[in-house]
Amino acid sequence: MTAAVTARAHTNIALVKYWGKADTDLIIPQTDSLSLTLDQFYTDTQVQFDAALDHDVVVVNGQVLTDQASRKVRHVLDIVRDLAGITTYATVTSTNHVPMAAGLASSASAFAALAGAASRAAGLRLTPRDLSRLARRGSGSATRSVYGGFVEWHAGHDDASSYAKPLMEDVDWPIAMVALVLDPRQKKVSSRQGMQTSVTTSPYYPAWREIVQQDLTAIRPAILAHDFTTTGEILETNAMRMHALTLSANPPFSYFNGDSLAAMQTVRELRDAGHACYYTLDAGPNVKIFCETTELPAITQRLSDQFGTDRVLVAHPGPGIQWLD
């Protein structure tokens, strides 16, 4: 039995979105993407390899997962075993401090933490780039959660060239992300399914690839210059253009619900009233509002009055992967 290793990784919100795979097995994306790691949402995962086990045991939030439910976890463990030259099975115990499968990128923190804990428990000392590559094999967005702050995922063209690296890991900018949790339930169309449908059926997908490149070219210098308005405008329009792919797919689908639309309108009204803020959504109904910290009182009060205080969560730029043992 090896020593147990526990890792913590935080989730991230994509500002320039990842939406679509070029290689579904290796999880190579169609485009680059850029995200912000958040401090309030994270996963703690402990891994211990034990020769007495005859299969992997995966426990998430106190529940033992079935073979089918733990398939992606076991896939990452198999990669770790190959890298370490071992065949030992492992016990994985994970606690998610993120509403799972609801558009808050719980898979990002989950698989980044798994990659960190499993690799060290197996005796590996991976570089951040290789850890990012390993996390990607469980979930694409997990490749970015290895790092803190603003992070860019280079799409690459194969396993070796597809990895994330930080743009601004130590964020010296008073910004916040307000997460408005409108529906914490599991979404009906998974990100994986939604991406594939959009890639193969939306007539606008070729234009999306060009838009992402343009948005990345514009947002990088804006972030480095602390240009809040340009950053906010890009992340808001990029999100809406990603969701346009779902509406133009065949069959069309949407991650929005009525509260999502109402929240977006509220953000526009706040902005019209002089409160600088912009919204974004991933593959789920929950709205995230990008703002400077000085705007938090007005924004959180308005959202709390409209949707309830318990639905309004404030996050700031978060750290990269941490080992807790």
Kindly report, residue by residue over 214-269, the tens digit of the pLDDT.
999 999 999 999 999 999 999 999 999 999 999 999 999 999 999 999 999 999 99
Using the Cα atoms of residue 128, residue 131, residue 137 and residue 140 in order, give the sign of their dihedral: negative
**Residue 96 φ/ψ region, left for φ over 0, alpha for ψ in the -120 to 50 degree band, beta for the rest:** beta
In this structure, the number of other CB atoms found within 10 A of the CB of residue 82 comes to 11
21-75 pLDDT per residue, tens: 999 999 999 999 999 999 999 999 999 999 999 999 999 999 999 999 999 999 9
Is 103's pLDDT higher than 70? Answer: no
Q: Where are the alpha helices (DSSP H) in the chain?
A: 71-84, 106-121, 128-136, 191-201, 205-224, 228-247, 258-272, 296-307
Predicted local distance difference test score (pLDDT) of residue 184: 73
What's the longest Cα–Cα distance across the chain?
A: 63
- The pLDDT, as a whole number, for residue 102 is 44
Strand partners, 317: 38
Q: Return the H-helix or E-strand segment holding 122.
A: none
Query: In this structure, which long-range contacts are made by residues 230-238, counting pairs with CB atoms below 8 Å and at least 24 apart in sequence?
Result: 231/15, 231/290, 232/276, 232/277, 232/278, 232/290, 233/278, 234/15, 234/16, 235/15, 235/16, 235/278, 235/280, 235/290, 236/278, 236/279, 236/280, 238/15, 238/16, 238/17, 238/211, 238/212, 238/280
Please say if the pLDDT value at position 99 is more than 70.
Answer: no
* pLDDT of amino acid 186: 74
Domains of the chain: 5-171 (3.30.230.10), 175-315 (3.30.70.890)
Dist. CA 255–CA 311, nearest whole Å: 18
As a whole number, mean pLDDT of residues 108-121 equals 97
From residue 145, give the alpha-carbon distance in Å to each of 153, 270, 274. Answer: 10, 30, 33
Q: Answer whether the bond into residue 251 is a cis peptide, omega within 30°.
A: yes
Distance CA 287, CA 6 (A): 31
Contact 10, 316 (CB under 8 A): no
Whether 140 shows a pLDDT value over 80: the answer reads yes
Instruction: Specify whether the CB–CB gap between 122 and 86 falls below 8 A.
Output: yes
pTM of the entire predicted model: 0.95
